[in-house]
Amino acid sequence: DAGVIQSPRHEVTEMGQEVTLRCKPISGHDYLFWYRQTMMRGLELLIYFNNNVPIDDSGMPEDRFSAKMPNASFSTLKIQPSEPRDSAVYFCASSRDRGRQPQHFGDGTRLSIL
């Protein structure tokens, strides 16, 4: 079975540029989560969707970050404009249900903003 698929795996860009990260969840999973992982803070939840609808975006750092889920098999996380402090590994995860279910992660996008 295909797991969660993220692209690109690596992104290096200059500050001020727009960055778009992509995620394909596991088929049949109704929940999709975006996380950010840094050495300083560990794993932080940014936003999650249920049936393509954003439910909780309280973890999104600021207005420069936005996320969409136009259909059940695709989501994007966009940063515009990007800043060096956005450098991190961004993970997408999906789960079949909300509570008491394992979340399955993709291999992440390593983002470096110069």
Q: Residues interacting with other proteins, by CB under 8 A?
A: 4, 31, 33, 38-43, 45, 48, 87, 91, 93, 95, 97-108, 110
Pairing of strands 42-50, 74-79: unpaired
Nearer Cβ to other proteins (39/53):
39
Question: Smallest gap, in angstroms, from Cβ of residue 50 to other proteins?
Answer: 8
Question: Smallest gap, in angstroms, from Cβ of residue 42 to other proteins?
Answer: 5
Task: Give burial (CB, 10 Å; 0-12/13-18/19+) of 47.
Answer: buried
Nearer Cβ to other proteins (33/65):
33
Question: Smallest gap, in angstroms, from Cβ of residue 23 to other proteins?
Answer: 11
Nearer Cβ to other proteins (38/51):
38
Cα distance between residue 97 and residue 101, in whole Å: 6
Q: Hey, what are 29's tokens?
A: 């999973």
Question: Do 109 and 21 contact (CB within 8 A), yes or no?
Answer: yes
Nearer Cβ to other proteins (18/97):
97
Question: Smallest gap, in angstroms, from Cβ of residue 63 to other proteins?
Answer: 23
Question: Do 31 and 48 contact (CB within 8 A), yes or no?
Answer: yes
